[in-house]
C-alpha cells in the first residue's frame, strides 16, 4: 500500500505515460503535483456557464 494518498496515482499515470519516476524523485514530484492540484481545484470550484469556450486558441 502506498505511503501517501497520491502515490498510487503517480504510479499509475507514470506507467500509462511511460514516464520514469525514480524513488528519489517521488517526494518532489508529489509535492509539485499537490501544488498543481491545489491550484487546479481553485479553478475547478469556480462556476462557469456550460457554453464557456476554452481560450486555447487565443486572441488578446
Partner 1 sequence: MTVKSDGLSAQQIAQAITDRKLSAFEATEAALARIAAHDGVLNSFTDVTADRARTTARAIDAKIAAGESVGPLAGVPFAVKNLFDVKGLSTRAGSKINRDLAPASRDATLIERMEAAGAVLVGALNMGEYAYDFTGENVHDGPSRNPHDPTRMSGGSSGGSGSAVGGALVPIALGSDTNGSIRVPSSFCGIFGLKPTYGRLSRARSFPFVASFDHLGPFARNVGDLALAYDAMQGPDAADAACTTRPVEPVTPLLAEGLSGLRIAIAGGYFQKNVLPEAVEAVARVARALDATQTIEIPEAARARAAAYVISTTEGASLHLDRLRKRPNDFDPAVRDRLIAGAMVPAPLVDRAQKFRRWYRAKVLELFKSADVIIAPATPCIAPKLGQATFVLDGVELPVRANIGIHTQPISFIGLPVVAVPVPLEPMPIGVQIIAAPWREDIALRVAHALERMGVAAAPAPRGL
* Residues numbered 3-22 forming contacts with partner 1, rule: CB under 8 A: 9-10, 13-14, 17-22
Using the Cα atoms of residue 15, residue 35, residue 5 and residue 27 in order, give the sign of their dihedral.
Answer: positive
Contact 30, 4 (CB under 8 A): yes
Task: Verify binding: residue 23, partner 1, rule CB under 8 A.
Answer: no
Task: Verify binding: residue 55, partner 1, rule CB under 8 A.
Answer: yes
Contact 22, 29 (CB under 8 A): no
Binding residues (CB under 8 A) for partner 1: these are 9-10, 13-14, 17-22, 25, 28-33, 35-37, 39-40, 42-44, 46, 48, 52-56, 58-60
Amino acid at each position: 500500500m502506498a505511503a501517501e494518498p497520491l502515490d498510487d496515482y503517480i504510479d499509475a499515470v507514470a506507467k500509462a505515460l511511460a514516464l520514469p519516476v525514480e524513488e528519489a524523485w517521488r517526494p518532489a514530484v508529489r509535492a509539485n503535483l499537490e501544488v498543481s492540484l491545489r491550484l487546479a481545484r481553485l479553478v475547478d470550484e469556480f462556476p462557469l456557464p456550460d457554453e464557456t469556450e476554452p481560450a486555447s486558441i487565443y486572441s488578446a
